Amino acid sequence: MYDVFATDRLIDHWLIEDIGACDLTVQVMIEPDEVGAFYMNAREPMIVAGVEVAARVFQRYDPTLKVKLRVRDGDRVEKGAVLVEVEGAARSVLTAERTALNIAQRLSGIANETARYVAAIEGTKARLIDTRKTTPGLRMMEKHAVSCGGGLNHRLGLDNGVMVKDNHIAVCGSIAAAVARARKKLPVLTKLEIECDNLGQVHQAVAADVDVIMLDNMSIKDMVEAVAIIGGRAKVEASGGIRIDTIRAIAETGVDYISTSKITQAAVAVDIGLDEA
* Mean pLDDT, 10 residues at a time, the chain of 277 residues: 91 97 96 97 98 97 98 98 98 98 98 98 98 95 98 94 94 95 93 96 97 97 98 97 96 98 96 95
Give the pLDDT of residue 33.
96
Catalytic hit among 216, 222, 237, 256: 216
Note if 195 is an active site residue: yes
Give me the phi and psi of 237, to 5 degrees please: -115, 130
Give the pLDDT of residue 167.
94
Helix 90-120 and helix 139-148, axial crossing angle in degrees, nearest 10: 60
Predicted model pTM: 0.95
CA distances from 35 to 39, 86, 87, 189, 276 (A): 14, 11, 7, 55, 11
Rounded Cα distance between 106 and 244, Å, is: 20
Catalytic hit among 23, 97, 142, 195: 195
Give the pLDDT of residue 213.
98
Give me the phi and psi of 69, to 5 degrees please: -80, 130
Catalytic hit among 98, 116, 191, 233: 98
Give the pLDDT of residue 1.
73
Give the number of C-alpha atoms closer than 13 A to the C-alpha of residue 212, restricted to the C-beta side: 22
CA distances from 4 to 56, 83, 122 (A): 9, 20, 33
Catalytic hit among 70, 127, 133, 181: 133
**CA angle at residue 148 from 143 to 149, to 5 degrees?**
95
Give the pLDDT of residue 84.
98
Tally Cβ neighbours within 10 Å of residue 14.
21
Rounded Cα distance between 104 and 138, Å, is: 12
Catalytic hit among 70, 132, 165, 235: 165
